[in-house]
Amino acid sequence: MGDFGVIADVSTVIVDSLTRALRELGQDDPPIAELNDLSETVQTPPPKLTVFLYEIAEDPTSRNRPPVRSRPPDPPTTSKPPMALLLRYLITPWGGDQLTQHRMLGRALQTFYDDAILDGVQLSGSLAASADSLHVTLTPLTLDQKSWVWYAIQKPYRLSLNYEVRVVDLDSALAVPVRPVRGRIIDGGTMTP
């Protein structure tokens, strides 16, 4: 279950996974991954894979879930189900030559293909020690759609990858106490044929 910091926690997990994977490229100054909103020029060296969260959406397949009830020994409460989020990331190589950038993209693709479900010890922050899992999927966008993303951030188009992370549960902060039933009245009434 994730608190209000769950979005930052997911971004950290993505960056950490990519940084570990990029170390395996075996260069003297290995590339790194960093969270970046692309509003400024990306500083290199070393070569970098920027991880840019460009969209947050609610997962329509997870709507209408039942309320969440507390478990004993906590006092009985009920709360809204977690808001199920989809996080969309733009992963872009910067610095180094074209071959280095292509290797970084290839390593990112390989990393999330081999380990498309992040769970257990891979999770940190509010997700640590939870039963949650993050499903990382390469999102097929047309060239026009990718161009619109770059146009929206007012940068020239660069070769990049688009990934979607689902389902990220954002817990509700409101809990309503539930009072136990203390008695009931059954009205037998009369039946007419």
Query: Average pLDDT of 100-105?
Result: 89
Q: Where are the domains of the chain?
A: 6-174
CATH 3.30.2000, applies to 6-174: yes
Lowest mean pLDDT among 15-29, 59-73, 95-109, 158-172: 59-73
pLDDT of 1 over the 60 cut = no
Query: What band does 22 get if pLDDT is binned at 50, 70 and 90?
Result: confident
* DSSP helix/strand/coil, 34: strand
Residue recorded with tokens 């992963």: 91
What is the layout of strands, in order, in the sheet containing 117-119? 32-35, 48-58, 83-94, 161-170, 133-138, 117-119
Cα–Cα distance, 85 to 122 (Å, whole number): 19
Peptide bond just before 45 cis, omega within 30 deg: yes
Cis peptide before 76 (omega within 30 of 0): no
Check pLDDT > 80 for residue 143: yes
pLDDT of the residue at 73: 67
Rounded to whole angstroms, how far apart are CA atoms 101 and 107?
A: 10
